[in-house]
Chains A and B, each alone.
Chain A
């Protein structure tokens, strides 16, 4: 049973890990992207649309090519969320619009886009329930490693996931490595800490901001795709994504802007999310209290890091501030 709880926690945490890795990269370039919930939503619906069109083009589900079934939604999802990231960049980097307002607008916009196209697809299939099921595609996404179930609890904890779970962890590790060990990471952190200094050192601030924010959005969008295709078994229903986008942003603070810590944090958040299901005779109101826990933990982390006032655990110094080279 413990193995099952851990497994559920990891699955629950994976969308959050994608979201927070993307947001950490974005914030390291000095941009607070509150559009993450919307971007993840768009990442999900783009993938759904791609999968839907591919499934519809086939005469029967048996003809489905598993590689195409994964690649098409993956590509659609990346394109959709990157486009959202580019909109955010254009508004906040080029036009220097307020980042909070832009981000919140993108969240509203993204959820609207998702629900509009989601609703349209549901209408198209003329289904009885307000959702569409892409089971064949989902099965391709959920393909587990062949030896997952022959290893007992060990296999269940470590190998019983679809490939996107491993992608999330690997992406977080790569992001952590790039940020801390490479020249690109050093330059990126300089852009987020002190863009004027970075500019004077010959770093192209605008390019760094555009590229990292777009890549960050693409990564976050995969969180949405994972949720629909793997976690929700390929079933799309409007507003099904819940508050996972906001939890991702909370996770950024919880993991004090470190993608490596975010891996453990996502599992903890996932654990807090699933634990009420395993408590016998729990009432609905108690369940809601449990759902609150990740936010409470985040607030506590925020208070502790503020009180200890260690510079390394603070957000990037220029986070949220537009940069423009002074007229000289």
Chain B
């Protein structure tokens, strides 16, 4: 590591602070990265990693603090400025034109004085791919490419524009293990040739195998930077999750525990062949809240959608024990309508409230009818019942709205969520699945939601709660299932666990490939 210490500092941030309204995204963050160094920025979801890097890339502008590039203080107001200081960021969502070739995408927007010389550009691209060991055909169209190839195009795009400081936002989230190995190989090659590389991640084994230094952020605050060689997983986890905070969520004892939903060895692959769910098995019991903890995008969404009938599986079964009839039904590969017709009373609060849960332009009453539109006998809509349901929810859950005929999109996030949860609960479910139901909600609304979930638990509903705040999961749930990269990392008893224990399980999720 000595030679690294001698290297010049490529990028330095001093006391960067950024707030969005009243939310502090970054508070007094300082860090530096040298030439020929790989720095990991580690933190949980919402810890401000991406926001921080977006300020370096010119997408956001810091409220206060200084940025130094190559020893000079710089002001980065736009992505163009970032390029001028040789900073290139590879975002999680690629910005590429589908019908263009790789080369066309790479040169897009370049304004050099020379004439438009495609063969010349392709030669230059080939030189870059050879230098760093990329695999890319410059003439291949983007729509024929895998996610990994698209990522390669984005990286070369940055290098083509002369980037010396490369920022990658969760680069391995969409890659297969083999592709990850390849990516790390080229990143190491780039490091050798003197580039400064920053990678945003929350996967501990990647941090330990790839980077020279690790900077840790927690809830927007800078915790510290440690040398990778001098640290270990448990120290990093502790820096990442911090000390326990008491929330005082009431939790009743589990009563009448019976098997309600038995998920057995389900598998699910994405179109690109990435495993989204890998051999997932668990049982949800009535009268219990089962928490699901994990880094965002570890397969939580696919799991819930598979149960709700929105995601086809490659293997396994989902057995529902009907408490009324005592029959067992397999829900695998059924549509939501088929599931309902089988008499399965399933309620689903998806994470995408206004996309999957409610229709923003429709009013509260009409949104109630999305659940019951099949019920009426006559050709005409029956508005009376949904209307009284809407009014009941508004009153009981204290929804702040001018009236029941207000379009849902005009309400605040908390009120939208209350309407969605209220509607789902009104169908008297036996299984209630809620994905991040308190995301973006203020404290009071959050507690209203916790109470609603607890009420359902007391009624004997099997509640599945996907959450991101470990403090909430530990205080609200009875059992917590930890999921990582589509696999179950383990189960813990929420009454006797610690944040560190869950944190380690979440981030460790044993690498698929020992090389990584």
Contacts and interface: CB of A to CB of B under 8 A. Distances in A.
Interface of A: 181-183, 186-187, 189-190, 193-194, 196-198, 200-203, 311-312, 314, 317, 328
Contacts of B96: 194, 197
Interface residues of A: mostly helix, strand, loop or mixed? Answer: helix
B104 A186 contact: yes
A200 B95 contact: yes
Interface of B: 59-60, 79-80, 95-100, 104, 107-111, 116, 141, 143
A193 B99 contact: yes
Given A197-B95, A202-B80, A328 B109 contact: no
A197 B97 contact: yes
Contact of A312 (B59, B99, B116): B99
B97 A190 contact: yes
A201 B80 CA distance: 8
A193 B99 CA distance: 8
Contacts of A203: 108-109
A198 B143 contact: no
10 contacts: A182-B116, A186-B104, A186-B107, A190-B97, A190-B109, A193-B98, A194-B97, A197-B96, A198-B109, A311-B143
Contact of A187 (B60, B99, B109, B141): B109
A202 B80 CA distance: 7
B141 A198 contact: no
B59 A186 contact: no
Given A197-B97, A198-B108, 15 more contacts: A181-B116, A182-B116, A186-B104, A186-B107, A187-B109, A189-B99, A194-B97, A196-B95, A201-B95, A201-B108, A202-B80, A203-B109, A311-B99, A311-B143, A314-B99
Given A182-B116, A311-B143, A317 B99 contact: yes
Leading 5 A-B pairs by shortest Cβ distance:
A201-B109, A183-B116, A197-B95, A202-B109, A201-B108
Contacts of A200: 79, 95, 109
B378 to A, nearest CB: 35
Contacts of B143: 311
Nearest to A195: B97
Nearest to B78: A202
Contacts of A187: 108-109
Given A186-B108, A202-B111, A328 B60 contact: yes
Nearest to B157: A201
A261 B138 CA distance: 27
B59 A328 contact: yes
Contacts of B109: 187, 190, 198, 200-203
Q: Which of A190, A201, A203, A328 has the most CB of B within 10 A?
A: A201
A194 B104 contact: no
Contacts of B98: 193-194, 311, 317
A312 B101 CA distance: 11
A197 B98 CA distance: 10
Contacts of B59: 328
Contacts of A196: 95
A197 B108 contact: yes
A197 B157 CA distance: 13
Contacts of B107: 186
A202 B79 CA distance: 8
Nearest to A318: B97
B158 to A, nearest CB: 12
Contacts of A181: 116
Contacts of B116: 181-183, 186
B303 to A, nearest CB: 30
A200 B59 CA distance: 10
A189 B60 contact: no
Nearest to B96: A197
A317 B107 CA distance: 20
Q: Which of A190, A198, A203, A328 has the most CB of B within 10 A?
A: A190
A328 B20 CA distance: 10
Nearest to B142: A311
A187 B141 CA distance: 16
Nearest to A203: B109
Nearest to B54: A328
Q: Which of B104, B108, B141 has the most CB of A within 10 A?
A: B108
A317 B96 CA distance: 12
B104 to A, nearest CB: 6
A46 to B, nearest CB: 35
A181 B97 CA distance: 17
B50 to A, nearest CB: 12
Contacts of A182: 116
Q: Which of B60, B79, B97 has the most CB of A within 10 A?
A: B97
Contacts of B108: 186-187, 190, 197-198, 201, 203
A190 B59 CA distance: 21
A177 to B, nearest CB: 12
A193 B98 CA distance: 8
Nearest to B91: A200
Contacts of A193: 97-100
Nearest to B115: A183
A129 B88 CA distance: 70
B396 to A, nearest CB: 34
A258 B204 CA distance: 51
Contacts of B110: 183
Contacts of B79: 200, 202
A317 B98 CA distance: 9
B18 to A, nearest CB: 12
A328 B58 CA distance: 11
A230 B100 CA distance: 40
A181 B107 CA distance: 13
A311 B142 CA distance: 11
A186 B143 CA distance: 17
Contacts of B99: 189, 193, 311-312, 314, 317
Nearest to A196: B95
Contacts of A201: 95, 108-109
A194 B109 CA distance: 13
Nearest to A197: B95
Nearest to B80: A202
